[in-house]
Amino acid sequence: MWRDVQLAAGTEEFSSTLEAAINACGLTVKEFAKRHDLSESTLYKITSGDRTNVRVETLQSITAALREEEGYGGRTIGLITTRGACDRAPSSIEAGGETYTIKPLPAQTIEDEIIKGVQADRDGIDGIVCGPIAAVTLEQVVDVPVGGLQFTQDLIRESMTDFAGRLD
């Protein structure tokens, strides 16, 4: 949603788009302002439509706060797979001396995976890991690196054993 807010700046939709983004984060304007050290008064003026001309610095602070709320703070890798797999994924990983936040993006179909990948690319994600079939398509339509999930023999064996146990 941070991208929608940024694109709406200077338009008639800015106030309603910002308010919707804050609400989508599960916060009130007051909570959002306090959490991100933003002026509560300024945010109320913007969301009420009383203030339409916003300084660039204010817009940058608001979008940075929304990015953080949406899980795009710092280096971020999107994980696009089933809800169950997303729920078991780590919240971050260390690689090459950097810490990467893992942004779970659950999807139920290949089409969902592609849509989530395009949205994540627009939202400023640093890279995407998804199912190998969707990865082939996403590599052609997004501007960030894409990797397919790797299925080791142990993982496949464990999945098959678990499934076979449910057949009885």
- Kindly report each contact of residues 121-124 with a partner whose C-beta sits within 8 Å and lies 24 or more positions away, as own/partner: 122/3, 123/2, 123/3, 123/67, 123/70, 123/72, 124/3, 124/67, 124/72, 124/76
pLDDT at 73: 67
Structural domain boundaries enclosing 22 = 2-69
Q: What is the pTM of this model?
A: 0.64
- Name the domain count of the chain: 2
User: Domain boundary at 69, 89, 106, which?
Assistant: 69
Per residue of the chain (168 residues), what is the pLDDT tens digit?
777 888 888 888 899 999 999 998 899 999 999 999 999 999 999 998 887 778 899 988 998 899 888 877 678 899 999 999 999 999 889 998 888 989 999 999 999 999 999 999 988 889 999 999 999 999 999 999 999 998 899 988 998 999 999 997
Do 99 and 158 share a domain, yes or no? yes
Decide which of 22, 38, 69 is a domain's last residue. 69
- Report the side by side order of strands in the sheet with 146-148: 92-95, 98-104, 76-80, 127-130, 146-148
Do both 83 and 109 map to the same domain? yes
